[in-house]
Copies of this chain bind each other. A is one copy, B any other.
């Protein structure tokens, strides 16, 4: 039966398929900090971060990891991995347009995934102690941080690059 009420962010939309197997717990992640953004709930988040014109967001790194920032000032672009703590994890197929047409979870970049880990590239604005300000994020305020990496090397034949 199709729901009559507006669909919630984490609810099921027409045609969507879930796995009913119990979730395995194969390894644990530790949160290394918290991301502060202007978006108070997932509905308000943009679909994509914008590292040029998007708002400045703050990362508050746990102080124990502050020594791991040594040398990062030389990087002006970073890859962040973060944990989408509000996402359901059992969706096999999703209907992004809520029209009953579905795509597999692995064919879309939806936040609803078996392991709700997001990956974004951001531009660094400033770093002061354990606080980093960046542009390019897309997640809800309070999202836990998993990792900070310098941007990966350009790849051979990069399809995202129009001149490659």
A residues adjacent to B (C-beta < 8 A): 17, 19, 21, 23-32, 48, 50-53, 64-65, 67-72, 74-77, 79, 81, 83, 85, 89, 91-93, 102-109, 113-115, 117, 119-121, 136, 144, 146-164
Q: How far is the CA of A83 from the CA of B31 in the complex (A)?
A: 16
Known: A26-B144, A28-B27, A32-B114. A152 touches B74 (CB 8 A): no
Q: Which of A27, A136, A157 has the most CB of B within 10 A?
A: A27
A29 touches B67 (CB 8 A): no
Given the complex, which residues of B lie within 8 Å of A149, measured CB to CB?
Answer: 106, 109, 113, 119
Residue of B30, B76, B106 touching A114 (CB-CB under 8 A): B30
Query: Within 8 Å CB of A148, what residues of B?
Result: 106
Residues of B within 8 A of A69 (CB): 104, 106-107
Chain B hits for A160, CB < 8 A:
151-155, 158, 161
B77 & A159 in contact (Cβ 8 Å cutoff): yes
Number of copies: 2
Q: How far is the CB of A21 from chain B (nearest CB, A)?
A: 5
A26 to B120, CA, bound (A): 21
What is the predominant secondary structure among interface residues of chain A facing chain B? loop
- Indicate if the CB atoms of B157 and A107 lie closer than 8 Å: no
B17 A51 Cβ-Cβ under 8 A: no
If A24-B31, A71-B108, A151-B159 are given as contacts, then 14 extra A-B residue pairs at C-beta distance below 8 Å, sorted by A number, are A26-B28, A26-B83, A27-B31, A27-B144, A32-B115, A72-B106, A106-B148, A106-B150, A108-B150, A109-B150, A115-B147, A119-B149, A153-B160, A160-B161
